[in-house]
A = this chain, B = another copy of it.
Amino acid sequence: MMALWMAKLGIKARVVDKRADKVFSGHADGLNVRTMEILDSFGIGERVSKESYHRHEASFWNPDKNGIIRRDARAPTSQPDLSRFTWCLLHQGHIETFLLDAIREASMSVHIDRNVMPSALRIDEEQVARANAHDSKQSPGSEGTKETVRARYLVGCDGTHSWVRQALGEGYEMVGETTDSIWGVLDIVPVTDFPDIRIPCTVRSASEGTVIVVPRENHLVRLYIQLKEVSTGSGAADRSKITSEVIFRTARRILSPYSLDYHYIDWWSAYQIGQRSGNRFSKLDRIFLAGDAVHTHSPKAGQGMNTAIQDTYNLGWKLGLVCKRVLRREVLATYELERRRIAKQLIALDQKLSQLFVGRPAKDILDETGVTMAEFEKASRMNKMFTTGIGIRYTPNLLNMSDEDQQQHLALATNCQPGTRFASHRALCQADARPWELHHRMPSDGRFRIVIFGGDISRPPQLALVNSLGAWLSVSLQPRFLVLSMPGAASKFKAARDPSVIDVLLVHSAPRERVELLTDLHDVYHPFDDKLGWDYEKTFADGHGRAYRGYGVNDKGLGAAVVVRPDGYVGLVTSLDEVGRDRIGKWFEAILRRG
């Protein structure tokens, strides 16, 4: 994800990977709905969705009075009101392939070295101080099989045993605990009569432990199997005892009386649950840590790959735009502010879930040491919004206007809270009536977006308000900052001019046929290009009032302007009048460099 941002923005970058190739089997497989939206913003959401298992239901199995497992409950897991995506399950190797394809397609600025290990890290602090004032050039130099890479920035995405984190030394230790609970993992094509093998489910047997069933693409099913026998009382488990046979036999006992066999096994592993995280995610805002390098936990909530992707999705555009000298360096501090809190929340969630998963099923309502179904369901429900990725909220900082500043402004778009992701709703393109998911007009291209909810612009005063704001955006705001040159070969269909780093979209609530794009509206809502003519994809009508309802904007009111960060999170909500202009101007002045 980090490399993809660099490629998208045309930043010269180098990936050093000790692995010889992408992952071919095992490892992560869960994609929450926010990760799906993020992948889709780079154009690979459909490929992932098409090949994935889609999660729509979960079930819970517990022992009955005779100790025989039976289905206790079913629960729908899809939330169509939350996102157009559902949870997807697909092997990490496919996702890596799609990311690699997207990197190659975006530009040639990223070089990937495999089979390469770092050996030493030195931070030239004097250089950092100088560079913070005036950035110097990066210059790699080779020395036989060793090479010295001089880089302005370094991001350690190198996993639990992060070499970069260790090289940073004191203050960068991981904090937390390792439990004595050992789990095995099997990726198999099961041959079984267990009825819910194609539904994600938790099977808690009377005394043999718990199996978690995670269906996947292409007939595969992942089973997480609690290994009670090899779990030791304290310290590290005896791993030599664990074989795929041991894990498989345990799964069979837990799923009994149902049969379980397989012809094909794709991967197996075993792990001991540890829940740890780092306190510092960056050093001097020059070296950053992301993913498992700063938070490790069990795979139970399916958050590992998601959190890692979302860490670097948060950091990538900031680093890229700083390198392009568009964004102020101060913004880099928001990476740690925003993502460390998420990591801590995740660890707390995982500790809670892990206890529930290993707990003995309660025999009845009077069984106080057992874990009841109700406790289980409650925990799942409470964490649902967090684990979808949609419930995440970044607290106020430079990028997210704080609540107290703008109580009356927040009321203008009640479902667009600063620090939360800007949702996608459908609106009709003014020029051709095509319904678009607004997310599809907001790709991850490094640009900020101001979404203007213009209200009913068939009313002349409202149209005047929108056009007056448009004139200010185009004459005063956009020219203050640098344009964003985009990588990619010159194309006959490329616009003649590089676009502003601030993109403007208009969504009005007037009947579409009562608006004439070219004559009614200011040019900023349909920018002109010498080669391509007018831009017909910036102005949208809220076809059936659904978009306005979705975003919480009154379609008969004075409208609202929502500033959306390049990663799709809301930065600011404000009015369309002069107060709003002032707030928009200040927000951008605080983070963008003057052009």
Contacts and interface: CB of A to CB of B under 8 A. Distances in A.
Interface string A182-201: 00000001111101011100
Interface stretch (A27-35, A156-164, A449-457, A510-518): A510-518
A533 B191 contact: yes
A446 interface: no
B533 A434 contact: no
A142 to B, nearest CB: 40
Contacts of A434: 54, 56
A134 interface: no
Nearest to A428: B56
A455 to B, nearest CB: 22
Nearest to A435: B56
A74 B516 contact: no
A192 to B, nearest CB: 6
A57 interface: yes
A207 B323 CA distance: 59
A478 to B, nearest CB: 22
B50 A189 contact: no
B264 A192 contact: no
A530 interface: yes
Nearest to A517: B195
A481 interface: no
A517 B193 CA distance: 10
A54 B191 CA distance: 44
A418 interface: no
B198 A431 contact: yes
Q: Which size bracket describes the interface of A in this complex?
A: 35 or more
Interface string A51-69: 0011011000000000000
A492 interface: yes
Interface string A394-433: 0000000000000000000000000000000000110111
A199 B533 contact: no
A541 B190 CA distance: 24
A122 interface: no
Nearest to A220: B493
Interface in A286-318: none
A433 B191 contact: no
A531 B195 CA distance: 18
A218 B493 contact: yes
A241 interface: no
Q: How many copies does the complex hold?
A: 2
A455 B336 CA distance: 57
Contact of A492 (B264, B431, B513): B264
Given A74-B513, A219-B493, A435-B56, A533 B50 contact: no
A129 interface: no
A525 to B, nearest CB: 14
A195 B493 contact: no
Interface in A516-573: 516-519, 530-534, 536
Contacts of A361: none
A76 interface: yes
A40 to B, nearest CB: 12
B198 A432 contact: yes
A586 interface: no
A161 B5 CA distance: 52
Nearest to A537: B198
Nearest to A429: B198
Interface centre among A191, A199, A433 (most CB of B within 10 A): A433
Interface centre among A50, A56, A190 (most CB of B within 10 A): A56
Given A191-B533, A533-B191, A56 B433 contact: yes
A252 to B, nearest CB: 15
Interface centre among A76, A190, A493, A513 (most CB of B within 10 A): A493
A215 interface: yes
A429 to B, nearest CB: 8
A54 B433 CA distance: 9
Contact of A536 (B76, B198, B263): B198
Contacts of A215: 432
A433 B46 contact: no
B56 A532 contact: no
Contacts of A50: 46
Given A57-B433, A432-B199, A435-B56, A193 B518 contact: yes
A564 B230 CA distance: 55
28 contacts: A46-B46, A46-B50, A56-B435, A57-B432, A57-B433, A74-B513, A76-B433, A189-B493, A189-B532, A189-B533, A190-B533, A191-B531, A191-B533, A192-B533, A193-B534, A195-B516, A195-B517, A195-B518, A195-B519, A198-B536, A199-B431, A199-B432, A215-B432, A218-B493, A219-B532, A263-B530, A264-B493, A264-B531
Interface of A: 46, 50, 53-54, 56-57, 74, 76, 189-193, 195, 197-199, 215, 218-219, 263-264, 428-429, 431-435, 492-493, 513, 516-519, 530-534, 536
Given A57-B432, A218-B493, A264-B531, 16 more contacts: A53-B432, A56-B432, A74-B513, A189-B531, A189-B532, A189-B533, A190-B533, A191-B530, A193-B518, A193-B534, A195-B518, A197-B536, A198-B432, A199-B433, A263-B532, A264-B493
A-B complex: 9 closest residue pairs judged by Cβ atoms: A191-B533, A56-B433, A57-B433, A198-B431, A198-B432, A263-B531, A198-B536, A54-B434, A218-B493
